[in-house]
Amino acid sequence: MKIVMAIIKPFKLDEVRDALTAAGVHGLTVTEVKGYGRQKGHTEIYRGTEYAVNFLPKVKIEVAVASDQADRVVEAIAAAAKTGQIGDGKIFVYDINNAVRIRTGETDAAAL
């Protein structure tokens, strides 16, 4: 089992969700986050005072999938979240040791 974690542009969330649904993913977790990468920040001006805003708002999504599905999920996210502009985000994949569905007590693959 793996977790596919992606940091994407907020306005791309709906397209990514649709792509994941089409790829057979039945659930994901979304978090609003801030950060910076190559895009750095932007400037905001209030009454002539300029502020460099270093942390940009992004959306983090986390999907737990069976190991053999991970590549497909990564491709689906990458295709849906891409604009070609700097700041599109990144995708990370890592292993899961255990999983439990709280309601039934099912574990591992059955819990996903």
Partner 1 sequence: MTLKKLIGAGAGGLTALAVAILLTDPALAQSAPAIVVNKGDNAWMMTSTVLVLMMTIPGLALFYGGLVRSKNMLSVLTHVFYTVCIVTLIWVIYGYSLAFTGGSSFIGGFDKVFLKGVTAESQAATFSVGVNITEYVYICFQMTFAAITPALIVGAFAERMKFSAVALFVPLWVTFVYFPIAHMVWYWAGPDAIDAAAKALAAATTPDAKAKAQAALDAVMADGGMAFLWGAIDFAGGTVVHINAGIAGLVGALVVGKRVGFGKELMAPHSLVMTMIGASLLWVGWFGFNAGSNLEATGGAPLAMINSFVATAAAALSWMFAEWLIKGKPSLLGILSGCVAGLVAVTPASGFAGPMGAIVLGLIAGVVCLFFVSTIKNMFGYDDALDVFGVHCIGGIVGAIGTGILVAPALGGAGIMDYTTGKIADYDFWTQVIAQCKAVALTLVWSGVGSWILYKLVDMTVGLRPTVEREREGLDLTDHGERAYNM
Nearer to partner 1, 36 or 92 (CB): 36
Q: At what angle are helices 13-22 and 70-81 packed, to 10 degrees?
A: 150
# residues contacting partner 1 (CB under 8 A): 8
Looking at residue 17, the DSSP 8-state letter turns out to be H
To partner 1, the closest distance from the beta carbon of 42 in angstroms equals 12
To partner 1, the closest distance from the beta carbon of 32 in angstroms equals 13
To partner 1, the closest distance from the beta carbon of 50 in angstroms equals 8
CA 21, 24, 29, 33 dihedral sign is: negative
Q: Do residues 81 and 12 touch, judged by C-beta distance below 8 A?
A: yes
58 CB-side CA count, 13 A: 23
Nearer to partner 1, 27 or 41 (CB): 41
Query: What CA–CA distance (Å, rounded) separates 54 from 47?
Result: 20
Q: Contact letters (x/-) for partner 1, 36-55, by CB under 8 A?
A: --------xxxxxx-x-x--
Q: Give 54's strand partners.
A: none
Footprint of partner 1 on 82-101 (CB under 8 A): none
Residue 32 is a binding residue for partner 1 (CB under 8 A): no
Interface residues toward partner 1, by CB under 8 A: 44-49, 51, 53
